[in-house]
Amino acid sequence: MTRSDIDGAALEYAAGGGLLSRRMLLASAAAGTAAGLALPKAARAEAKIPEWSKTAGARARGYGMPAAAESAVQRAIIEPWQDVAPAFSLSGTPHHRLRGTITPSGLHFEVHHGGRPDIDPARHRLMLHGLVERPLHFSLEALERYPMVTATHFLECAGNSLFNAVMPEPMQAGCDMLHGLLSNTEWTGIPMAVLMEEAGVRPEGKWVVAAGADGPSLARSIPMEKLMSDGMLALYQNGERLRPEQGYPMRLLLPGFEGNMNIKWLTSLWVTEAPVHTKDESGEYTEILADGSSVQFTFAMGVKSFITHPSSTMTMSGPGFYEISGLAWTGAGKVAKVEVSADGGQSWAEAALAGPVRPQALTRFSLPWHWDGSPLVLMSRATDETGAVQPARADWKARYHASNFLHYNAIQPWQITAEGAVQNVYL
Amino acid sequence: MSIFKLTAAALLLTAAAARAEGPGLGQPLDAAEIPFYATYVKPDGTGLPAGSGTAAEGAEIYAAKCASCHGKTGSEGPVMPPVGPNDVWAKPAGRYWPYATTLFDYIRRAMPLEAPKSLSDDEAYALAAYILERNGVIEAETAMTAETLPAVKMPNHGNFLDVWAKQGAKPW
């Protein structure tokens, strides 16, 4: 007996399209255990023993690697101008190949406006200057001696999901391309307030211009209020030193704020009285609205979710039991609720949230589902603790100029065909 | 030690603790050690160096160092053409950005992509002048300097809403 053999007529439905009550999780797990016990004894005796159970294995190694059979689990590389400007490069996390909530460090997304620098940690330093009582510089060696904090937070590029935002027809690609400029990490580092207080911020110092040590010295103006409340100088990700892609040896972390502000390879914090309108806050990270005006300093990311299992480019393995699973997050704090629809939005059922639900962090949701083999559309819709609800695509598009692809957080519908193909669609 | 001295010492300790909860291992930073890219030219022109450049001078530098990415005349692209309107990028720098000072600072710190920080101050002024002139924002003969650049009135200047000032960290 397999889960797919469970009699559909006996199931407790939560909404249309085959969404099941969350109690179904326990019931089906119990059924699986019972089935395992019922295997006939003869089958065990005759089972073929695989070769890896009959030889000595490989020796220990200094740094682990994924299983060889998983070598296809890679970031999707996007190079918008690969011939003329290859250093402007991105890579997206393959969410459809991962479960849980923490993104493996080697699969964390990248966006580099000028390429990934090769930094000598012994020569790198952090400068703190401008409207402060004591301009200071810190070596990595000195920073390592500071008290550190650990927190799990998502990072999302303001341009995440850009293809869904602007392409006239839905692009058929995986979650790595469609929503991959999003990752979730356990960060460890020094509260920025500790360093700022050591330098002594003057009362007129209301903003900080952070700059990286990369070729273009990417710079952003950051409100002092944010920096002092939960800003972090991150030195470690998921327990190890930052990867070069993530700003080795140090980066700024501003929980919930658009990725571009979390300056990588951080080398300078310049305290000023007002924002300085850097290139990124003047042009690239502003959004043109439907009326032609623009919004700027739209720092926090909105409430958002998408289903990772199943998702586009996947193929269903026949009718029967599945667990729908996906990710939800909000820059405004915690996710309050995620609803799932299996009938294109006609009815919704509340999904289970895997705890702990952390602020400004990815939260995994799930709901059991019995697919009867007919075509339908799956969707997820997140609500955050401020009451903000993920919008439909048409509502999001109506707010903005047609060219805008930033801060796209609309509902993601996945169409499942009668053949079991999962496709990206607009609804 | 008198009661007065003890009290004074205790007050000093408290002040030090309030100032920094960390070990205080930052080293004094001399102003001469701060590279230009650790600051940014402000919209009022603060931070602009001496120097000068015209659109005609900028055109030559542009053709040699910028056209391969941004297009022959600045509006073709493929990469974020700075001259508008164009069919590639809705936010051409010389027309969309609220302040002209950003052009100078960004060009000087980040361009060209393969050799950032290689341009002289005069070259950065000249390129800013070329982009502004191509967008019809300044006259062809007006040299850009520490005085003239911040005085340029950008056409899209009054067309932005500051969301942080309006609603803080609440997502827009």
DSSP 8-state code for residue A126: E
CA of B130 to nearest chain A CA: how many angstroms apart?
17
Q: Do B27 and A137 touch (CB under 8 A)?
A: yes
CA of B105 to nearest chain A CA: how many angstroms apart?
8
User: What are the backbone dihedrals phi and psi of residue B70, each rounded to the nearest 5 degrees, phi first?
Assistant: -95, -10
CA of B2 to nearest chain A CA: how many angstroms apart?
30
CA of B54 to nearest chain A CA: how many angstroms apart?
21
CB pairs under 8 A between A and B: 204
Residue of chain A minimizing CA distance to B43? A276
Q: Give me the mean pLDDT over the B2-21 stretch.
A: 49
The answer to whether A422 and A313 have CB atoms below 8 angstroms apart is: yes
Dist CA A213 CA B83 (whole Å): 28
**What integer pLDDT is reported at residue A3 of this predicted model?**
45
**What integer pLDDT is reported at residue A6 of this predicted model?**
53
- Mean residue pLDDT of chain B comes to 92
From B24, B99, B172, residue closest to A282, measured CB to CB: B99
A206 vs B: CB within 8 A: no
Q: Do B19 and A331 touch (CB under 8 A)?
A: no
**What integer pLDDT is reported at residue B14 of this predicted model?**
47
From B40, B79, B171, residue closest to A388, measured CB to CB: B171
Q: Do B40 and A190 touch (CB under 8 A)?
A: no
Q: What's CA B107's distance to the chain center, in Å?
A: 8
Q: Do B169 and A330 touch (CB under 8 A)?
A: no
**What integer pLDDT is reported at residue A44 of this predicted model?**
62
Q: Is the pLDDT of residue B8 over 80?
A: no
Interface mutation target, options A81, A154, A297, chain B, most CBs of B under 10 Å:
A297
**What integer pLDDT is reported at residue A34 of this predicted model?**
43
A276 vs B: CB within 8 A: yes
Q: Do B91 and A286 touch (CB under 8 A)?
A: yes
**What integer pLDDT is reported at residue A2 of this predicted model?**
43
pLDDT tens-place string over residues B12-49: 444 444 444 689 999 999 999 999 999 999 999 999 99
Q: Give me the mean pLDDT over the B91-115 stretch.
A: 98
Residue of chain B minimizing CA distance to A112? B113
Q: What's CA A238's distance to the chain center, in Å?
A: 14
From B68, B102, B110, residue closest to A114, measured CB to CB: B110
Amino acid at A41: K
CA of B142 to nearest chain A CA: how many angstroms apart?
23
Placement of tokens 């957080």 in the chain:
A409
- Which two three-digit tokens encode residue A176? 């790595």
**What integer pLDDT is reported at residue B11 of this predicted model?**
47
Mean pLDDT in runs of 10 for chain A (427 residues)?
A: 50 94 67 47 74 96 97 96 95 98 98 97 98 98 97 98 98 98 98 97 98 98 98 98 98 98 98 98 97 98 98 97 98 98 98 97 98 98 98 98 98 98 97
Q: Report helix, strand or coil for A204.
A: coil
Dist CA A281 CA A223 (whole Å): 13
> Which value, in Å, is the radius of gyration of the alpha carbons in chain B?
23
Angle of helix B55-65 versus helix B121-134 axis, rounded to 10: 100
- Which own/partner pairs from A30-39 qualify as long-range (CB within 8 Å, at least 24 positions apart)? A31/A1, A31/A3, A31/A6, A32/A3, A35/A1, A35/A2, A38/A1
H or E stretch covering A102 = none
Residues of chain B contacting A195 with CB distance shorter than 8 Å = 22, 26
A393-407 b/e with 16+ CB inside 10 Å = b?
beebbeebeeebbbb
B90 vs A: CB within 8 A: yes
Q: Do B159 and A277 touch (CB under 8 A)?
A: no
Q: Tell me the helix, strand and coil percentages in chain B, rounded to 5.
A: 40, 5, 55
How far CA A196 is from CA of A144, A188, A228, A232, A370, in Å, comes to 16, 18, 8, 11, 54
Residues of chain A contacting B99 with CB distance shorter than 8 Å = 277, 282
The answer to whether A392 and A411 have CB atoms below 8 angstroms apart is: yes
A226-239 b/e with 16+ CB inside 10 Å = b?
bbeebbbbbbbbbe
**What integer pLDDT is reported at residue A1 of this predicted model?**
36
User: For the whole model, what pTM was predicted?
Assistant: 0.92
**What integer pLDDT is reported at residue A370 of this predicted model?**
97
Q: Is the pLDDT of residue B6 over 80?
A: no
B17 vs A: CB within 8 A: no
Q: Do A268 and B96 touch (CB under 8 A)?
A: no
How far CA A62 is from CA of A59, A65, B84, B117, in Å, comes to 10, 10, 54, 40
CA of A286 to nearest chain B CA: how many angstroms apart?
9
Q: Do A198 and B20 touch (CB under 8 A)?
A: yes
**What integer pLDDT is reported at residue A11 of this predicted model?**
84
Residues of chain A contacting B161 with CB distance shorter than 8 Å = 293-296
Amino acid at B28: P
Dist CA B27 CA B48 (whole Å): 28
Among A391, A188, A414, residue whose Cα is nearest residue A314: A414
Q: Which residues contact A346 (CB under 8 A, 6 or more apart)?
A: A16
- Which two three-digit tokens encode residue B137? 């924002």
**What integer pLDDT is reported at residue A176 of this predicted model?**
98
Q: Do A276 and B165 touch (CB under 8 A)?
A: no
